Amino acid sequence: MPYDAAKDPWHRRALSPAALGRAGALVTPNDATDLSRYGRLRVFVPATLANAEVRILPVDAADDAPLTLPLPAGQVSVLEFLVRRVLATGTTAGLVIHRVD
CATH number at residue 41: 2.60.120
pLDDT tens for each residue of 70-92: 999 999 999 989 899 999 999 99
The pLDDT score that the predictor gives to residue 1 is 66
Angle at 92 between CA 44 and CA 67, to 5 degrees: 90
Could you give the CA distance from residue 92 to residue 40 in angstroms, rounded to a whole number? 18
Check residue 10 and give left, alpha or beta (phi > 0: left; psi -120 to 50: alpha). Answer: alpha
The pLDDT score that the predictor gives to residue 68 is 98
The pLDDT score that the predictor gives to residue 18 is 67
Low-confidence ranges of the chain (pLDDT < 70): 1-3, 7-11, 13-20
* Residue 13 forms part of a structural domain: no
Number of domains in the chain: 1
Q: Which residues span the domain enclosing 42?
A: 23-100
